[in-house]
Structure 1
């Protein structure tokens, strides 16, 4: 693990995943609260429609059945019509059955207590009116029968109606309270979901803004930095990025690349100067050697004419060869230095190219993270669409409930006076269904607003992706420039090697000339034969001088081209 990786605390992927996790949590909270309130509203509607409305309807029917018992008992006493008796028994049975059914629906202790009293009074009333009917069938005294009705049966019957009235009145009150509670719950749910949705939306937009700015701002700075370097300006200041992620690592790589490139350009410039100086020295040495060769040729021609000048000519030859040998050694040393510097320049160019490749890889990682970010935002939009489908289902349920309430109101209107209480219930249910429909529409509008915000976030991410692609293009351009520098330095290295080989060849030639001069000094007797050897050596030396002059000219041209290429860069 490198130092750069160890100092990287949070990667871009982790930061983006954290941002989307926060947005997902906010969306989950909003959805959870909406689901909770929808379930609560559904529970209250179910309780109001399926339980309380049925209890109220049963209580109102109990009122009617209690009143019918007293009325039918009086009708039978007055007319002795068996139908009144049968209807009386039917009303008593209906009241008892309604009490039993309502007991299974009642939750409060007060309702259960009233139902038990009603059942007890109904049983007592049945026992009393059966005794009364038995007295009538036995043709007992009319006065006794009337007294039994007024003092025994009628007081029990009068106890039924107040209990039934109290039961119906209390259930009507509870229905009104339940309707009010449902309305308050709907208002609370609407306000809560609206506030939570707005807060979640604002936080999501802030997270998206800061996440985008955190990524695009340093990338734009690095793009400008790379443009400057690509144009040849290496004197710019280093990039200052506070990020501790891949972007920070990429910025550090850019800074290191700039420093390496600056050092490389300086080394190449210095090497070019050395090469130019060495080529000048080589040219001067070649001229001196050529002059010495001409002197030797002239001396050889004069040897035949005058042997007296032989010693002087030999001394001149030895001196000239000494100077040439020193020049050759200097050329060889300069060629070694130029070779070493050129190899260093090639190494620096290779390191710069590797830094560019590392920058390209980092830009590729950033591009991949942006693509993952876009996929997550699209998935979040799909989830909000699913919530919209749920709201549509709730709206359909509310519409069906409204239709059922309307049908119930029509049936209650047909029932006349007996269906008035159920008509009131149907009206309340219809109002609740309309309120539920309005709440569902409000939630649908909020979901639509959230989806529009997500679409804007996706557009912002696409813009960031374009900036990243532009950064990749600039880095690739800088990489091409480094590749050209590397090729040029390799060419210089090859030329320097050729100069070194030529210097070695010239050194060998100078040694041969010195040896020839030593042979000349051995004696004047072999001057003639030695002159031919010296002439041949001189011809070889002239050929070598021509090669050295050609190499020196090529080296001078190369050094000028290298200085021209280096001059394109502006260093600090």
Structure 2
């Protein structure tokens, strides 16, 4: 349960981090888009103003005549005013450009307020009223623009407000043939309308971005959870196996690297289960054999003590020596039988130890194969991460192409607008050309909108690709964890192999001790036969028999000690194996 909670925490943490990243990117994109659209609008205002001011400059002589009349406090010719006003009417539209006008260059004050004369302005801006020749008070923004125009500069002012609304004005000087500034040309853009359009665009982009982020986050949540689940189950199973639970198994539900890792894990657990069962059985048999060996050693020790007593009796009395020699001969027969049984048990223990060592070597090989498979999984995940990064680079190139398409659409839109203006100037003969120019503007606008939609989709793909790369990096980390757990299990098997080798060495020591006991018993038997045949030599031979019995007793004690060590080693081997549940 603890690992499940950690896995869920990993999924939720990853999803939360990606959500924050998505929202941050959306916020940055919205801010950049708002700023870009605002700058684009201002740039468009400037370009339109430059084109229209160039058209106005063509009529500089007419404008100079009107300006001269106003400076002389005379009324200008009505034909000139009407012609220039028609030109201004053709410049304005129903969207943002609401007013076009010519102002005098001579500044004067009324009640301390700077003013200029509005010589001519578009009649559509005042709903047909005649505001030509009226005074226009200048605020700080417009006054600064006036001073810059008088130096020959063209500019787009900052936003300013009056009784009607909030405006941005394009101001440019009108020069005569000698280069003298005779009037100031102005265009008023409705800044309130511009802000409304930008706000509508901003909220639309925010809505689309939030919807796309919600869908992407939901998809990533399920992808991350589905990817982490099998690796988490494999890590839990490996941890339980390392703690000794060999009854666990992994369900194999796929044929990919994770599925093959689960199958290899099941094969490893099966091999370990068989190996542990064999070692446990061998350990039990070694324990029983060591107990039998110790019992036989005790019997041999008792027999040797009886031989010693018999030899002492022979030294004191020949008849008693003869009788004791017979008892000693019987005891030696029993001891020979016991030694033979010890030898047979030692051979059995040696075979079992060899068999156990072979099975342990097979288990170690299975672990090596599992480590190799885990390394293959890790290599595959890293290769997938590299592929995701290449996909991100390709997406960046596509984004550059879309930017070029957007720029071409913007230029086409400006050309169509210029064509509309020329068609308006052409009058009745330019209506058909104006319709064509309007259609071109619509097509350019659709091209720009389509490229923006493609860029949005491409950005979502790039973000999803980056998230998938992060998930694959997490999967590589899980694979490395599984490899470390398998290596820990391999260390445990190597410890078991070392214990088996120690058992084999002790069995060889027991076999050598049995050979020494056999040689001693043969020597004692020969001595006893000689005692029976030659009674007179009993006293002399009793010393030799006593020495032989002492050597035999020492050998029996060595066998007893070796059997005790064998029992202790078998017990330790049993404890090492008992931690594995099969």
Q: How many correspondences in the alignment?
A: 371
> Is the 2:280–2:577 Cα contact (8 Å) retained in structure 1?
yes
> Is the 1:212–1:464 Cα contact (8 Å) retained in structure 2?
no
Q: How does 1:158-307 map to 2 (within 5 A)?
A: 213=226, 216-236=228-248, 238-307=249-318
Which has the larger share of strand? 2
Unaligned runs of 5+ in 1: 1-197
Q: Could you tell me which of 479, 496, 500 is aligned with 1:468? A: 479
Q: 3-state SS of the aligned residue for 2:536? A: helix
Deviations 1:42-76 (A, max 9, x none): xxxxxxxxxxxxxxxxxxxxxxxxxxxxxxxxxxx
Confirm whether residue 333 of structure 1 aligns to residue 350 of structure 2: no
In the TM superposition, residue 401 of structure 1 has moved relative to its aligned partner by 1.3
Gap change, CA 1:251 and 1:344, over 3 Å in 2: farther
Q: 3-state SS of the aligned residue for 2:537? A: helix
Distance in 2 between residues matched to 1:250 and 1:521, nearest whole Å: 77
Gap change, CA 1:421 and 1:377, over 3 Å in 2: same
Gap change, CA 1:457 and 1:245, over 3 Å in 2: closer
Q: Could you tell me which of 552, 577, 581 is aligned with 1:566? A: 577
Q: Could you tell me which of 534, 549, 553 is aligned with 1:523? A: 534
> Is the 1:260–1:352 Cα contact (8 Å) retained in structure 2?
yes
Unaligned runs of 5+ in 2: 1-210
Q: Could you tell me which of 438, 458, 468 is aligned with 2:469? A: 458
* TM-score (ref. length: structure 1): 0.60
Gap change, CA 1:371 and 1:408, over 3 Å in 2: same
> Is the 1:356–1:475 Cα contact (8 Å) retained in structure 2?
yes
Which has the larger share of helix? 1
> Is the 1:317–1:517 Cα contact (8 Å) retained in structure 2?
yes
In the TM superposition, residue 216 of structure 1 has moved relative to its aligned partner by 4.9
* Alignment match, 1:405: 416
In the TM superposition, residue 436 of structure 1 has moved relative to its aligned partner by 1.8
> Is the 2:303–2:331 Cα contact (8 Å) retained in structure 1?
yes
* Alignment match, 2:357: 346
Deviations 1:220-250 (A, max 9, x none): 33322222211112233x3331334554443
Q: 3-state SS of the aligned residue for 1:367? A: helix
* Alignment match, 1:491: 502
* Alignment match, 1:308: 319
Gap change, CA 1:218 and 1:347, over 3 Å in 2: farther
* TM-score (ref. length: structure 2): 0.59
In the TM superposition, residue 430 of structure 1 has moved relative to its aligned partner by 2.5
Gap change, CA 1:441 and 1:250, over 3 Å in 2: closer
Distance in 1 between residues matched to 2:316 and 2:435, nearest whole Å: 153
Larger relative contact order (C-alpha < 8 A, sep ≥ 6)?
Answer: 1
In the TM superposition, residue 359 of structure 1 has moved relative to its aligned partner by 0.7
Q: Could you say which structure has the larger radius of gyration?
A: 1
Q: How does 1:91-102 map to 2 (within 5 A)?
A: none
Gap change, CA 1:496 and 1:389, over 3 Å in 2: same
> Is the 1:412–1:423 Cα contact (8 Å) retained in structure 2?
yes
Distance in 2 between residues matched to 1:405 and 1:376, nearest whole Å: 44
Distance in 2 between residues matched to 1:446 and 1:461, nearest whole Å: 23
Q: CA RMSD in A?
A: 3.0
Deviations 1:157-196 (A, max 9, x none): xxxxxxxxxxxxxxxxxxxxxxxxxxxxxxxxxxxxxxxx
Q: 3-state SS of the aligned residue for 1:495? A: helix
Q: 3-state SS of the aligned residue for 1:234? A: coil
Distance in 2 between residues matched to 1:396 and 1:403, nearest whole Å: 11
Q: 3-state SS of the aligned residue for 2:449? A: helix
Gap change, CA 1:355 and 1:209, over 3 Å in 2: farther
Distance in 2 between residues matched to 1:347 and 1:336, nearest whole Å: 17
Q: 3-state SS of the aligned residue for 2:580? A: coil
Q: Could you tell me which of 532, 535, 538 is aligned with 2:546? A: 535
Deviations 1:285-325 (A, max 9, x none): 22222222222222222223211112211111111111111
Gap change, CA 1:429 and 1:240, over 3 Å in 2: closer
Q: How does 1:497-516 map to 2 (within 5 A)?
A: 497-516=508-527
